Structure formats: structure tokens, C-alpha cells
Chains A and B, each alone.
Chain A
Amino acid sequence: MKDKQGHASWHRIIAVFLALVFVAAACGSDGDGASPDPTGGEDTTTTESGPARNPVKGGELVFGTESDVATLAPGEAAQPSDKVITLGIYDPLTTYEDGKIVPFLAESIEGTDDLLTYTITLRDGVTFHDGTPLNADAVVKHFDRLKDPATACPCQTNIAAITSMDMPDGAEGLTVVFHLEVPNVAFPDLLAGSSGYIESPTAVANGLNLKTDGVGTGPFTLAEFTAGERVVLEAYPDYWGTDEDGTQLPYLDKLTIVPIPDSGQRVAALETGEIDIFQTADSATVQQAEEKDFAAQKISGSSSTILLFNNSKPPFDDVRARQAVAYAIDKELINERAYSGVRVPSYSGFALDSPYYNPEAGTPEYDPDKARALVEELGGLDFELICIPTPEADLVTGIVKQLGEEVGMNITLKTEEQGTYVNRIFSKEGEFEAGCFRSAHFIDPDAIRNGLTTDDTTNLVFYSNERVDELLDGARQTADFETRKAAYDEVQEITGEEVPLITTLYDLFGNVYDASRVGPPPEGEANSLGAIKPGLLYATNG
């Protein structure tokens, strides 16, 4: 197993989460998709250290989510509401602990020096909820199913990198060897996302609909799924996992998940005691709940809101135009006016505490004089900024327009229904000048590769720089931390200068709870937009 800070890394994951606030539904999924993020990819998920946990076994809790479940299928589940459920039903093969990738359902994962072959040894004695034993056969069948075009998994592009799998100890054994098409240091990361959730092969053979049902090895069994109404998870008595004190997980006997789309009603339901905890991406809701003396766990930086430029067309094929916009944007002002100052401005896709973060690089900071000078040099700067019609997006783009016009730009704001907008961006026909987006950041910096590589299908900003291509390709083919760090440092310098897009603020996700009923939640799950592992949630009264 490689150590992440030190060297490692792992995968090609990239996803573009158009979710939640700027764009209300997630596209792509963890482990799959594209990030137009210029500089980052490192773990930017930081959970504010909260009160100490004293877990108690037993009890029931009701968890409110912002939206209904989209899908529970391994390889597809991506939204926070999907993740909080699927992390209960399934165990990923690997996971993150303190920002490092570690084996989870796998007992070990070893890569060869050429990073072309990975060997996974599974935990012994683990059973699926239907009694089927976990073995090499289940893992191979899982990946074969994801690779099958009939599954139409959005993870296919990533999974396709697995050229073949061997079972050296046979189907009943615990060892699986993965052969990859190209060297990839980030492969273990892929297995930490929903592509690494292993489902029972027996259940699949019996025709189980994995999108609305699930049989995994996780701490909870799925007892009820009613779309738009509730999902009920019940403790799996034979679960293999224990906490550091040896207490068997999960702590809870039962966890009910209910979707509550209205943010005010989530707080009201917490007040009336109908729910005990809820997740939110809305800074105002976190603030409102804290004013009512509820506890809030704040998870910052697993994604950020960004401005996309079309680097292939005027006016933004000229680097000066992109720089001018970067100099014109006062991120502190956006933070104050749109988010009551609770978010953190971002000049890089990397977290401030990431080992790959380069403090010397980064996109330009607010400097209206430089912006004005560049606009004058260009002989004016007119462009159209497209976004989806949400109050938050209107507010932010309105501030951008105001700031731009103060330095002589002429910005036309346009809103477009979400589906049409997503289609416009993903169709890659380049029919936009500037747009808004949300981009997820992932633990491994390789996550930024596709979004910045010339002509990559997920390079949504049409950015192209041979040196960046070379650096990003090289960085995924080595496990040496220093080599990788040097490569990503240089990428950040180049993209900081060339500004293919602008990160504005790190997003803030919150888990708001009533501390008299719920113990402090576990750390925010990496790559999951604030979702937590439900097996580690506990009720204070047990």
C-alpha cells in the first residue's frame, strides 16, 4: 500500500459536480467524470474539528437530505444524498483516513513499480447481507458488470483502464490482480469511490435492481426504499467492522433517511424533532441553525464554485482577457455579500493544507488597476456569462458583472435552464464565452488531469498547453512524492499565469444536528461533498 502524502496517488477520478447550489443536480459521479479544475485535485476536504465523540451503541436516528436519492447503484451513486445511504449499504475497497488512502474492504492493495498491476487481497470471513461470502469472484463480477456497456455506468471511461483481472487463488480465493492499460498511480483512489462498492453477485444474478435496492457488505442492510419518501437502513448484525475500542459497528440500530428539499423545512423538522440531523450545502441554513443553538459540523473545500472560460474562442483565447477577469474579481466581496463571509476564497484548486498546494502560484488576486490596464490594452472586453437561474448564481454573477464593469468590461448575464446549460457545456461544441460551474476536488492530484489535458473529452474549457500535458501525464506514472510535487507545482505556476478558469470560493457543506440527540458526526468523507459514513453515526441516548 502506498502512502498518500508521500507518494502516491492514485486515480483518474474527476468529476464535475454541477450539484447543489450553483447547479442543482450532480452529473458524473465520483470516480468518473471531468474536472475543469486548473490546479487542484488534492484533498481539499477539511472538517472543522468538533467536540469529542463518545459513541454509544443502539438507538435510531432520522437523517434529512437536500434531495431525493438519484441512484444507489455502485459506480453511479454520486450525490451527497446517495452517498450517505450507499456508504451504509456498501464498503468501498479502499477509503481515506486523515487524507491518506488505506485499504478498507480490501485487506491490502499493492502496486507494482511500473504502476501497471495492482494486487488486492480481500478481508477474510466477510459476508454480504444475503449470506454470500465476499471473494475474488464477487470483485471480478462487479468490475465486469461495470465494464459491460449494457450497464451504462457513467464510470465506464475509468473502468475501461482495467484491461484484465486474474484470480490467482481461484474464484473462492481472496486475491484479485488488476492489469491496467497505462500506468496509473491513482488506481487505488478509484476504488474508494462508488466504483469500489462491491455488491453481492448472488443478488445481481437474481435480478436485483441495484439502483433502488442494494445488497452489500456494509454496516447496514437496506430495509425500505420508497422514492421521494424515505429510505430505511437497519444494522447488519454480522458486520465485520469495529471501532478502535473493538465495539462492533454500526452504532445505530436503525437509520431513516428522508429527503426535505426546502431548507427552511429542514430546520423546522429539526426543531420539531422529526429529524435529528441533516446535510446542507447552503451556508445560510448552517448559520440559521446555529442561531437556533443547533450544532453544525462544517466541511469545507471538497469543491469550489468556478468561472469557466472558453479558451478556444475570442475574447478568452487571449490570456490577457482571462487575467483581466481574474484581477477584477474581489472574492472577499462575493464571500461577504453572498455567503455572509463564512466561505474561504480560493486561488487554487488545491486545499490550503494540501501537500501539493503551491502557495507561490495561483490565479491573480483582486487588483482593479491591473484589470483596468489590461482591458484598455485589449481595447475593451465584452463577453457573455451564462449560468443557471438560482438565487445564489444570480447574486454571484451580478457581483461579477458589477466588478467587471467597474474596470471597463461589458458583461452580459444570461441564465439558462439547468438541463440546457449542462448540455451546452458537455456537448463540447464550445458555444459559450464564460460560464459558472461547480467542480469537485479529489484527494489525488491526478484528478485534474483530464480537465486540463489538450483535447480530452472532459476538458470543458478547451485549454491546451503542451507542457501541462506532459507534466500531468508524467505525474500519474510515478509514485514518488517529490517528483509528483514538482510536476504539480509547475502546473499550478503555469495555470496561475494562464488562468484557464477561475476558482472563486471553496464550498461549505454542513451536517446540522441536535446535540442532545446525536453525537458529533464522523469526519466528512473525502470526495463526497460533505457526506459521512453512517456506520459511525451514533445517538446520544443509545
Chain B
Amino acid sequence: MTFARLALARLAKLLGVVLIVSFLTFLLTKLLPGSPVNTILGPEASNPVAKAALEERLGLNEPFLQQYFSYLWGVLHGDLGYSYSQDLPTTTYLSQRLPATIQLMIMTQVISLLISVPLALFSAYRANSRADKAITTGSFGLVALPGFALAVFLVYIFAIQLGWFPAIGYDRITGPGGLSENLRSVALPVAVLSAGLTAVYTRLLRSDLIATLQEDFVLMARSKGLPTWHILLRHALRPSSFSLLTIFGINFGTLIGGSIIVERFFVIPGVGSLAIESIFKREYLVTQGVVLTIAVVFVLVNFITDLLYSVLDPRVRRAGA
């Protein structure tokens, strides 16, 4: 199967998944007991005029399927609903919140890789040495440490005691502080998010590398007298990175919606905190829009990951979609 056909087949599946996700997020409001109108209006729900007005606004007076298709039609036209309490379209919130989340996501992934790849290479090459054991133990420790606990610890040391970084807030690059303030404001959240990921990446890559380093072609390379760094980087790394790539892809999706605790703790105006705020405020339409966006990003990233597999390993292409 050619790369293009593979991509097309994957894309078709992706559309199917997005359609299912859109239906499930739409069901969100329907599955809740009682009417969202009661919850939004509170005591005023007993006022039939107010109730009817809101039902009409939310489109709840239409038949179920019609509601779904109007919703889908809206989504296809970039209308992800609006906030009831603030009268703003969901897309406005997303455009305000995506930059911080994307920055956190990319910086976390890049920093995690920058640290974990050399550590894993070193650890695998010196498997069972003292240094390897130290790295392994350290990774276990970091994986076991919950993000919020690390966050409290880092804030105490680096914000309160040393005053190097702010405890809360996000400075936009376009703000008065420019890039330097922006980087200072994301330093602690990125450190918290990266800690766990770095540990996982190091562990995964290390064990795959150890297996690869036992392969005949590595022995051959060694016997040819190739330098160690050349063998590790040019021969062993690529075939050892499948598990890493899978987890890396999944983490992109997780980071966009899953850094809720870190975003809320550090008051980072990101998509995760938007999701939790809209749930707390009973903003059903915003919640639907945010969940759908997170799902689409998740599916897209996994689509790209799938394509990358075939780049890394031609056998995937040949095996078909």
C-alpha cells in the first residue's frame, strides 16, 4: 500500500471516530438527570417564561436527532456553541486558552525528550552499572511522585524561598514582559509535567534499547569498530523508538486536556482549566465544545503517530492499513 493510500485509509477511520465522539459529547447533556435548564436557572426555573426562553435558546425544544444534526452542522461551520453565563462563543475561549496549553504541551514534550533520550542511551549502554541503577531508581521515584505534590514542593522552593519563578499566572509572549517573563511563568508547570514524562520515556527507551543492543546487526557494527555514539544514535535508536513514539503521541493528547490539575494549580489559562471551569459553571455547550476539541486533537495526533510508524518502519506500510 502506498503512503498516500495508507494516509487516506487512516483519515477515513479518523473521520468515523470524530463523528462518534461528536455524538457522545452531544449526548453529554442528555445523559444528565433532569433538565440543564433547571440547573442553569436554579429557583428561576419555576418561571415558565424564563424556562421556555432558555429552552429555545439552547435548542432543547427540538426533537433529539434534529438537535444533534443542528449541532453537527454548527460544528462543521466552526460553531462550537456558546457560554450561557457570558454570552461568548466557545471558539473565543478556545482561542484564548489554546496558546498556553500548546506551549506547555510542546515545551513539556521537548524537554522530556531532551532529557530522557540521552539518559536512556547512557543507561542502556551501561546497563546494570551504578549509574544505570541510579537513573532507574530516580525514574521510579519520579513516576511514583504525584504531580500536585511535586508542584507544592517546587513552589515552596523556587517561588517562595528563592523567588526565582512566580507561584501563579501565565505571562503571554505578547505581554509587557515578553519572552523572558513568559518562560519564567511556565517554568514550574513545565517542570512538574516533564518530571513524570521524562521518567516514563527514559524507562521505555532504555528497555527497548537494551533489547536492540543484543541484535546481530549491532554486534556487526561493533565488530566493524564503529564508535559507540555512532552505533547508539545511528543504528540502535531508530528501531528502539516504537514504544516511545506511541507513548509520546498519546501524551500529546493527554497533555491538551489532562494537565487540568497543573493548569488549575498554577492558574494557567489553558484548555484543561477551561474544561474544569465550564463543568463547574454548568456550561454544557462550552464543555461539549472543549471535549470535542480535545478529542479531535487526540485523534489527529494519533493519526500522525500512525503515519510516523510507517516512516520508521517500512513493514507497517507493506502490512497495509
Contacts and interface: CB of A to CB of B under 8 A. Distances in A.
Interface of A: 15-16, 24-25, 27-28, 32-34, 67-68, 70-71, 76, 149-150, 152, 154, 156-157, 209, 211-212, 226-229, 258-262, 264-265, 268-269, 271-272, 274-275, 418-420, 422-424, 426-428, 457-458
Nearest to B57: A152
Interface stretch (B65-73, B120-128, B162-170, B210-218): B162-170
Interface stretch (B107-115, B260-268, B302-310): B260-268
Interface stretch (B7-15, B16-24, B38-46, B250-258): B38-46
A450 to B, nearest CB: 8
A268 B167 contact: yes
Contact of B46 (A70, A149, A419, A457): A457
Interface in B242-300: 264-267, 269, 273-274, 277, 280-282
B87 A274 contact: no
18 contacts: A32-B44, A68-B277, A70-B281, A71-B85, A71-B86, A152-B54, A154-B43, A156-B44, A212-B86, A212-B88, A228-B277, A258-B267, A260-B267, A265-B167, A418-B280, A419-B282, A423-B33, A426-B38
B43 A426 contact: yes
B150 to A, nearest CB: 14
B34 A424 contact: yes
Given A228-B97, A268-B160, A27 B42 contact: yes
B3 interface: no
Contact of A227 (B88, B159, B170): B88
B155 interface: yes
Contacts of B144: none
Given A156-B47, A157-B47, A228-B277, A423 B87 contact: no
Interface of B: 32-35, 38-39, 41-47, 49-50, 53-54, 57, 85-88, 93, 96-97, 152, 155-156, 159-160, 163, 166-170, 264-267, 269, 273-274, 277, 280-282
A212 to B, nearest CB: 5
Given A25-B280, A154-B41, A428-B46, 5 more contacts: A34-B43, A71-B85, A259-B267, A423-B32, A426-B38
B168 A149 contact: no
Contacts of B160: 268, 271-272
A344 to B, nearest CB: 27
Contacts of A149: 49-50, 53
A291 to B, nearest CB: 14
A426 B53 CA distance: 18
A122 to B, nearest CB: 28
A16 B42 contact: yes
Contact of B168 (A152, A265, A427): A265
A261 B279 CA distance: 14
Contact of A264 (B38, B152, B166): B152
A274 B168 contact: yes
B39 A228 contact: no
Contacts of A229: 96, 170, 267, 269
Contacts of B88: 209, 211-212, 227
A274 B167 contact: yes
- For the complex of A and B, 4 pairs with smallest distance between CB atoms: A457-B46, A27-B42, A423-B34, A268-B167
A274 B166 contact: yes
Nearest to B160: A271
Q: Does more than half of chain B's interface fall in helix, strand or loop, or is it mixed?
A: helix
A428 B35 CA distance: 13
A237 B104 CA distance: 40
Contact of A226 (B34, B38, B54, B269): B269
A269 B156 CA distance: 11
Contact of A152 (B50, B152, B266, B274): B50
A457 B43 contact: yes
A150 B163 CA distance: 50
A19 to B, nearest CB: 11
Nearest to B88: A212
B39 A423 contact: yes
Nearest to A155: B44
Contact of A228 (B43, B57, B274): B274
Contacts of B156: 268
B183 to A, nearest CB: 17
Contacts of B39: 419, 422-423, 426
Contacts of A154: 41-44, 50
B147 to A, nearest CB: 13
A157 B86 CA distance: 21
A423 B163 CA distance: 46
A70 B35 CA distance: 20
Interface centre among B45, B47, B50, B168 (most CB of A within 10 A): B168
Contacts of B169: 258, 274
Contacts of B41: 152, 154
A28 B166 contact: no
A423 B49 CA distance: 19
Interface centre among B44, B88, B282 (most CB of A within 10 A): B44
A269 B274 CA distance: 21
Contact of B163 (A269, A272, A426): A272
Interface centre among B32, B35, B43, B54 (most CB of A within 10 A): B43
A59 B167 CA distance: 23
A318 B33 CA distance: 29
Nearest to A150: B53
Contacts of A269: 167-168
Nearest to A26: B42
A261 B260 CA distance: 12
Nearest to B263: A228
A156 B50 CA distance: 8
A372 to B, nearest CB: 37
Contacts of A422: 38-39, 42
A33 B43 contact: yes
Contact of A262 (B33, B45, B96, B265): B265
Contacts of B96: 226-229
Contacts of A458: 43, 46
A262 B43 contact: no
Contact of A33 (B38, B42, B267): B42
Nearest to B86: A211
Nearest to A71: B85
Contacts of A271: 160, 167
A229 B49 CA distance: 35
A420 B85 contact: no
Given A24-B280, A149-B49, A423-B33, A211 B44 contact: no
